């Protein structure tokens, strides 16, 4: 993979540059998604389907705290990309130092609160009945590693802002491979059950942190910060916060969505229905990896060229990214429509000696997941416009439109739909909410992006 330096973000042809940025990002996301997918398969086969539901309950809390790091990372990285484009290296260095300080302060505080309120949070997110005990075991161990995950997520976005997608890709691969190896050791060999699954994930976070620390201390990074850069700067903090709040709000709404979905589905069908959603959630992370990869690759290109006032290149990057993302989203759609049952079966144990309860749960999941999956992914071909449109505003530092477009799908459309439609259509009402929200959010994003291009980029 050819090395891309920050100044080349403003020179190379957009199509070629987007591929250079998007391919490593897609590979990294693919490996991370495969990690989530295979981890769930291991847990489902070696521990049980209830264990998958337990992990699904914990994810919103741990992901929200980790997303604080991503929010700080993306907010700061937008500043860094534009600062590098404007040749303001001192601002880039100060921003990076502030990102590190802020990430540590916020995530350690949130972890302490998360551990203190553990018995309240797990039931609130759907960890009821037989799900509670394994969810608590997993949650408690995972939370200790979340600050390292937050630092990794923050650091990874900064690596991309420097124009180093290959290193960012490796940083995403390391925790995934480490987690899967530790899964085999801790769950299969040592038979540690949920504790093993949790420790495997935590070890993966630590390995990733070690690699990112190495990158920034090595010759590969342009951002060589000193102690003075760690001091919090109010102006930079405000800019990081306003842009990072977009990512944080998105993750907060995602966590709220998990809370609502787990509770609605538990009331509709108990633990097995929560397990169906757990599988759907894994597939949402996994199969859309190339679309998210294009979005990640687009961010530093748009930010750098906007900072350098190369507006024709910014506009070209928008259209090229939408075209590439739409193509891969359509391919994903076709595969999922053809083989939903086969994907669902991957998550279920067929080992001898399953209890009657486990067999009944597996049968329920196999019956209900294909129908749900086809509805959930029905609007997949059009989501490229939605994702790239919202990402553009964040990349160029326009926090308010970025926030509104980010919240459009889940906050403004999806949550009201899942609160309303199940009253009329039961389980189908939950799943049909996904494509309806996608269509509405894409229309709104398209209108807003078209106005922005005419006003600012022509």
Rounded to an integer, what distance in angstroms lies between the CA atom of residue 454 and that of residue 214?
Answer: 43
Rounded to an integer, what distance in angstroms lies between the CA atom of residue 386 and that of residue 443?
Answer: 8
Q: Take residue 48 and report the two structure tokens written for it.
A: 């049980």
Q: How many H-runs (helices) and E-runs (strands) does the chain carry? A: 16, 0
**Residue where the block lists tokens 């739909």:** 417
Rounded to an integer, what distance in angstroms lies between the CA atom of residue 74 and that of residue 175?
Answer: 20
CA distances from 138 to 55, 192, 226, 323 (A): 7, 11, 38, 40
Rounded to an integer, what distance in angstroms lies between the CA atom of residue 163 and that of residue 77?
Answer: 11
Rounded to an integer, what distance in angstroms lies between the CA atom of residue 150 and that of residue 376?
Answer: 29
The 3-state secondary structure of 85-138, one letter per residue: HCCCHHHHHHHHHHHHHHHHHHHHHHHHHHHHCHHHHHHHCCCCHHHHHHHHHH
Rounded to an integer, what distance in angstroms lies between the CA atom of residue 73 and that of residue 78?
Answer: 9
CA-wise closest residue to 171 among 139, 187, 148:
148
Q: What angle do CA 353, 357, 361 make, to 5 degrees?
A: 105
CA-wise closest residue to 249 among 70, 113, 115:
70
Residue 228 per-residue DSSP state: G
CA distances from 286 to 12, 38, 253, 282, 336 (A): 30, 10, 20, 6, 12
Residue 358 per-residue DSSP state: H
Q: Take residue 110 and report the two structure tokens written for it.
A: 């949130």
Ordered DSSP codes for 267-326? HHHHHHHHHHHHHHHHHHHHHTHHHHHHHHHHHHHHHHHHHTT-HHHHHHHHHHHHHHHH
Query: How do the pLDDT tens digits run along the chain, 458 residues long?
Result: 334 456 677 778 888 888 888 888 777 777 766 666 667 777 777 787 677 778 777 777 777 777 778 888 888 888 988 888 888 889 999 999 999 999 999 889 988 998 899 888 888 877 788 888 888 998 889 888 888 988 998 998 899 888 888 898 898 889 888 988 998 999 889 989 888 988 998 999 999 999 999 999 998 888 888 888 999 999 999 988 888 887 778 777 877 887 888 888 888 888 788 888 888 887 887 778 788 888 888 988 888 888 888 889 989 999 999 999 999 899 989 998 998 888 888 777 666 666 777 777 778 888 888 899 999 999 999 999 999 999 899 888 888 888 888 888 888 999 999 999 999 998 899 999 999 999 999 999 999 999 998 888 87
8 A C-beta contact, residue 65 and residue 150: yes
CA distances from 420 to 193, 369, 424, 431 (A): 38, 21, 8, 12
Provide the pLDDT for residue 296.
83
How many CB atoms sit inside 10 A of residue 158's CB? 27
Provide the pLDDT for residue 3.
42
CA distances from 426 to 129, 143, 432 (A): 22, 34, 10
């Amino acid at each position: 993979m050819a090395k891309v330096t920050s100044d080349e973000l403003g020179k190379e042809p957009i199509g070629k540059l987007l591929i250079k940025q998007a391919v490593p990002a897609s590979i990294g996301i693919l490996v991370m998604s495969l990690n989530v997918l295979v981890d769930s398969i291991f847990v489902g086969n070696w521990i049980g389907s209830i264990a998958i539901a337990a992990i699904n309950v914990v994810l919103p809390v741990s992901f929200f705290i980790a997303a604080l790091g991503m929010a700080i990372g993306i907010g700061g990285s937008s500043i860094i990309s534009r600062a590098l484009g404007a040749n303001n290296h001192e601002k880039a260095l100060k921003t990076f130092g502030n990102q590190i300080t802020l990430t540590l302060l916020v995530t350690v505080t949130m972890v302490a609160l998360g551990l203190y309120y553990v018995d309240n949070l797990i039931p609130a997110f759907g960890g009821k009945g037989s799900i509670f005990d394994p969810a608590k075991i997993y949650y408690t161990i995972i939370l200790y590693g979340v600050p390292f995950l937050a630092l990794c997520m923050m650091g990874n976005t900064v690596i991309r802002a420097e124009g180093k997608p290959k290193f960012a890709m490796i940083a995403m691969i390391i925790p995934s491979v480490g987690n899967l190896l530790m899964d085999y050791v801790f769950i299969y060999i040592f038979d540690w059950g949920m504790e093993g699954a949790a420790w495997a994930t935590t070890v993966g976070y630590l390995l990733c942190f070690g690699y990112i620390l190495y990158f920034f201390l090595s010759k590969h990074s342009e951002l060589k910060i000193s102690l003075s850069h760690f001091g919090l700067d109010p102006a930079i903090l405000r800019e990081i916060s306003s842009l990072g709040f977009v990512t944080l709000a998105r993750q907060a709404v995602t966590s709220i969505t998990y809370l609502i979905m787990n509770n609605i589905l538990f009331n509709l069908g108990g633990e097995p229905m929560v397990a169906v959603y757990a599988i759907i959630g894994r597939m949402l992370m996994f199969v859309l990896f190339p679309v998210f990869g294009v979005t990640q690759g687009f961010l530093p290109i748009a930010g750098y060229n906007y900072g350098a006032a190369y507006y024709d290149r910014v506009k070209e990057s928008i259209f090229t990214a939408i075209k590439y993302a739409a193509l891969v989203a359509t391919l994903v759609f076709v595969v999922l429509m053809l083989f939903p049952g086969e994907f669902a079966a991957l998550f279920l144990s067929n080992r001898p000696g399953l209890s009657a309860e486990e067999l009944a749960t597996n049968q329920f999941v196999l019956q209900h997941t294909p129908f749900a999956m086809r509805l959930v992914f029905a609007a997949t071909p059009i989501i490229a416009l939605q994702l790239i449109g919202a990402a553009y505003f964040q990349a160029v530092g326009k926090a308010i439109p970025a926030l509104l477009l980010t919240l459009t799908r889940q906050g403004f459309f999806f949550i009201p739909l899942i609160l309303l439609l199940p009253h009329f259509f039961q389980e189908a009402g939950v799943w049909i909410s996904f494509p309806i929200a996608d269509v509405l959010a894409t229309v709104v994003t398209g209108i807003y992006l078209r106005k922005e291009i005419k006003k600012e980029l022509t």
